Amino acid sequence: MDDKKYMVIKKLNEDDILEILLEYYQENECASLPRSKGMLLGIPGENLRFIGIYGKEDDLSVSDCDLSEVDKTTDFNGDHSFLEKNPRFHL
C-alpha cells in the first residue's frame, strides 16, 4: 500500500466524543480529579458545546450536578474563547 494515499477515517458517536473529552482533561488539566461527568449540547456548526465537570474521587456531588444548569450559568472558558476576549494576546 502506498503510504502517501493512506488515510484513517473516524466517525464517532456522542459517547465516543464524550469519553475522549473527559479523558483528555482528566489526563491533563484535571489530572488530580478522577471523577467526571460531561454532556454535549447544541447544534453542530451553530452552537455546539461541551460541558464537563471534574471532582475528587469521593466528591459525589459531581454525579448529582445538573449540567444543563451549569451550561446556563457558566461562561465559555476554552482557549478560543480566551483569545476572542483578549485579541492582543498571541500564542
**What are the sequence ranges of the domains in the chain?**
10-85
Q: What is the pLDDT of residues 9-55, one digit of tens each?
A: 999 999 999 999 999 999 999 999 999 999 999 999 999 999 999 99
Model-level pTM? 0.78
Calpha distance 56→48 (Å, rounded): 27
